[in-house]
Amino acid sequence: MIYFTDGTKEGFLTAFLCAYNDEDALLSSVQTQLALGQATVFVAADPQKAAKAEARLLSYDKDCMQDLFYLLRSGMSDREQIAFRYFKLLADRKRPVRGMLAEDGVIAACECIRKVTYEIHRMHGFVRFMESASGALYAPISPDNDIADLLVPHFRARLPEFPFVLHDVVRKKAAVYDGTNVFTAPLQSAEIVLSADEKKWQALWQRYYASVNLPQRERLKQMRGYMPVRYWKHMPEFDRQEPFPMETPV
Amino acid sequence: MIDERRLRILTEGAKFDVSCSSSGSKRKNSGGMGNGYPSGCCHSFTPDGRCISLLKILLSNNCIYNCKYCPNRLDADVPRVSASPEEIAELTLDFYKRNYIEGLFLSSAVDGSPNDTMERLVRTVKLLRTQHRFHGYIHLKGIPRADEALVREAAKYADRMSYNIELPSERSLKLLAPQKSKESLLLPMRQLCEERRVFREEKRKGLFLPAGQTTQMIVGASPEKDGQIVRLTQSLYRNLGLKRVYFSAYVPVVHDRLLPDRPAGQLHEHRLYQADWLLRFYGFTAEELAPEDEDLPLDLDPKCAWALRNMQLFPVEVNRAPLEMLLRVPGIGGRSAQKILEARRYTKLTFEHLKKMRVVLKRARHFITAGGKFYGANSDTAVRNLLTAGEAGENAVQLSFFSDAETALSALTGEL
């Protein structure tokens, strides 16, 4: 049986209860092409059932909801199934399974969580703000995982005096810090009026980027490993018509 | 706003400093801009594979010193420019605000006297910290022969400071950087080490170099053997409490009868970094890695080489070996060792498990058993041959990255 959920935590926990005794259960929040004859059920989130499941799981592992939180933020289409296998193992063993690193279900969950937390760390570095005429900062992002709002605490802590918008242009939503409050809101597209100097600072950054490189030591494979090409599109250092000129050493 | 030409010249003068780390500081934001990021944060990567974490820049490239290996030495025919503290502060703040950088790595040629130069560096950092309330990461290069009081003042505002010892022996330093002396470099390092210790012991308010000190040396420009370099590195960690020692393979840009004509290999540099890691994170001592008058082998990484000299200790059983021993198995790093430790609490590990856990077995299989099973080669010679053969393949690729003559400048360093 395939159990479709709405992608929320309550939806997952409700489906978890329904599917727990089903040997061939498959959980998903993504509409997929179904093989002929596969039985499906849409599980509506039920707060009572979800609370029951949560209490039970927490009694086995008090930190497990943190795992679920990150798993459901994953951009992988089989995230619910990965979470299901992990929590089924937890429910079977009735004690924390996080350290059972030789178990397939734990390996998959750990890798999935690591992808999310690693992308959060990466984005702390890769986000590029542009300054608008009002002084507010705006950064378009297109992360693999649904993490826009999870980036806010980091930037709020270091730029408390600057309102900013982190715009997930793929999921069409924005995480906003208005100088006092933090909230998320749907956002299709944004028209930004740039500050007078914004383009000049971007040009200086491009110049810096080109100058600090050691062209004689080119190692593009390593570069792309650390900073995959999919992250480049919102970075001004790559916003150039022609490839980087080879700077001649002074 | 600084102009593109000066930004370029001052950046190109600074880029040979290897350090780009922004880790180690927990500086808080108390209004204004910025804070520390204890694990460090990379903001971009350049096509040479290096990360950009800090805005690495010189205050001036106008130098009164004439160090043989340096592109900014007095004799060099290069355009001379400088930036004002205000320009550097503005650049730092505007880059930081846009999240281009994690902070500033400020250095300078010795422009005028050492004290004048150091004073301008300190003024820049102080301007950022006090007037602009900037709490992001600042790595400040120290100028040898500057007054003690200036050094102390700098440490109040910087997260990390570094003096480059430049060369691995006093004799080479005398020969190649005659205006610097061992004492002029070690004195301020000792001063900072001591004052930091006192500051921490007395639990004084504020911060004093929270990210400590680092240094850098050129290898391959002078005759010191790796055994000597590794011992020097170890003593820098032990006696001066340094956080990092950086190495930079020498590449000739300047023709001088005192300097070799051929570049030192990048692979050589890589081996030294591997040895450095073994000292810092794997519990090795310099004495275990290489005899004082010998180089590290190029055809094997230093951990493999050590293991092959100590085959009587292997194979170890992954289900029982203590962490210290797991860390000494070639191919098993810190992360794998921790995973093994955790996983074996619940189950008896097999090779199948290790593979699923992504423990790299290419080298490790010759040195471990899992559940009593052994899948390595059956003689020491066979192990050696397999390991060096594997390395030769990797090296062929590595050398093709670095070995061409155009590598000029690429590993040169020694900026002040």
B235, B343: one domain: no
Residue B307 has which token pair?
């293991």
Angstrom CA distances, B116 to B119, B122, B146, B247, stand at 5, 10, 8, 29
Q: Count chain A–chain B contacts defined by CB atoms under 8 A.
A: 174
Using the Cβ of A93 and the Cβ atoms of chain B, whether some distance falls under 8 Å is answered with no
Domain's final residue, options B298, B316, B337: B298
A-chain residues within 8 Å CB-CB of B14? 212
Which pLDDT belongs to residue A243?
Answer: 54
The reply to whether B363 falls in a domain is: yes
B394 and B261 housed in the same domain: no
pLDDT band at B221 (very low <50, low <70, confident <90, very high): confident
Closest in B8, B45, B71 to A211, CB measured: B8
Q: A35 falls in which pLDDT band (50, 70, 90)?
A: low
* pLDDT at residue B400 greater than cutoff 60: no
Task: Determine, for residues B34 and A158 on separate chains, whether the beta-carbon distance falls below 8 Å.
Answer: yes
The amino acid at residue B326 is L
pLDDT, average across residues B125-144: 97
A96 preceded by a cis bond (ω within 30 of 0) = no
Is the pLDDT at B216 greater than 60? The verdict is yes
B119 and B71 together in one domain: yes
Indicate whether B114 belongs to any domain: yes
Which of B298, B319, B344 terminates a domain? The answer is B298
How far is it, in rounded angstroms, from Cα A78 to Cα B29? 40
Res B391: pLDDT: 60
Closest CA to B398 of A221, A58, A127, A202: A221
Query: Which one of A16-20, A236-240, B388-392 scores highest in mean pLDDT?
Result: A16-20
Query: pLDDT for B307-325, tens place per residue?
Result: 999 999 999 999 999 999 9
Task: Indicate whether B248 and B329 sit together in one domain.
Answer: no
Q: Are residues B328 and B269 part of one domain?
A: no
Residue B415 lies in a domain: no
Task: Compute φ and ψ for B136, nearest 5 degrees.
Answer: -70, 180
How far is A170 from chain B, CA to nearest CA, in Å?
21
pLDDT band for position A245 (50/70/90)?
A: low
User: pLDDT value at position B281?
Assistant: 96
Residue B360 lies in a domain: yes
Give B139 or B253, the one with higher predicted confidence: B139
Q: What is the mean pLDDT of residues A129-141?
A: 98
Chain B residue with Cα closest to A129: B98
Q: Domain tally for chain B?
A: 2
Highest mean pLDDT: which range of A83-92, B14-23, B381-390, B391-400: A83-92
Do B224 and B323 lie in a common domain? no
For residue B13, the enclosing domain spans 4-298
> In this complex, do A137 and B98 lie within 8 Å of one another by their Cβ atoms?
yes
- Model confidence at A63, pLDDT cuts 50, 70, 90, reads very high
CATH of the domain at B129: 3.20.20.70
pLDDT at A94 over 80: yes
Shortest Cα distance, chain A CAs vs residue B370, angstroms: 13
Strands A2-4 and B51-52: unpaired
3-state secondary structure at position B33: strand
Q: Does residue B378 sit within a domain? A: yes
Mean pLDDT taken over chain B = 90
Predicted local confidence at residue B99, as pLDDT: 98
Across the interface, of B11, B48, B353, the residue whose CB is closest to A211 is B11
Q: Which residues in chain A have Cβ-Cβ distances shorter than 8 Å to B341?
A: none
Q: Do A102 and B46 touch (CB under 8 A)?
A: no
Residue B413 has pLDDT above 50, yes or no: no
Domain limits of chain A? Answer: 2-119, 127-186, 198-238
Cβ pair A220:B49 closer than 8 A: yes
Query: Is the pLDDT score of B394 beyond 80?
Result: no
Determine the Cα–Cα distance for residues B269 and B407; give it in Å rounded to an integer: 14
Domain assignment of residue B411, yes or no: no
CA distance A154 to chain B (A): 9
Give B-chain residues touching A226 at CB under 8 angstroms: 42, 45, 49, 51
Do residue B99 and residue A249 have CB atoms under 8 angstroms apart?
no
Last residue of a domain, one of B251, B272, B298: B298
Question: Which of B2, B13, B41 minimises the CB distance to A124?
Answer: B41
Split at pLDDT 50, 70, 90, the class of A218 is confident
Tell whether B324 and B255 lie within a shared domain: no
Whether A232 shows a pLDDT value over 50: the answer reads yes
What pLDDT, on a 0 to 100 scale, did the predictor assign at position A33?
65
Contact between B11 and A249 using a beta-carbon 8 Å cutoff: no
Note which residues in 161-180 of chain A have CB less than 8 A from chain B: 161-162
Residue A126 has pLDDT above 50, yes or no: yes
- Chain mean position to CA A166: 13
Residues 6 or more apart whose CB falls under 8 angstroms from that of A235 comprise A126, A128, B44
What percent of chain B clears pLDDT 90, i.e. is strictly above it? 81
CB B386 within 8 A of CB B79: no
CB-CB contact of B167 with B223 (8 Å):
no
- Asked if B210 and B349 sit in the same domain, the reply is no
Residue B388's pLDDT is what?
A: 86
Minimum-distance CB partner of A102 among B47, B95, B343: B343
pLDDT above 60 for B414: no
pLDDT of amino acid A250: 39
The whole-angstrom separation of Cα B70 and Cα B415 is 7
The verdict on B251 and B153 lying in the same domain is yes
Q: What is the pLDDT of residue A102?
A: 95
Alpha-carbon distance of A78 to A67, in angstroms, equals: 15
Rg (CA), chain B: 23
Is the pLDDT confidence value at B289 over 90?
yes
Q: DSSP letter at B52?
A: E
Distances (CA, A) of A72 to A5, A7, A115, B59, B191: 11, 7, 12, 48, 52
Examine the domain organization and report whether B274 and B352 are in the same domain.
Answer: no
Whether residue B410 lies inside any domain: the answer is no
Residues B46, A223: C-beta atoms closer than 8 Å:
yes
Please check whether residues B240 and B367 belong to one and the same domain: no
Kindly state the tokens that stand for B367: 């040195």
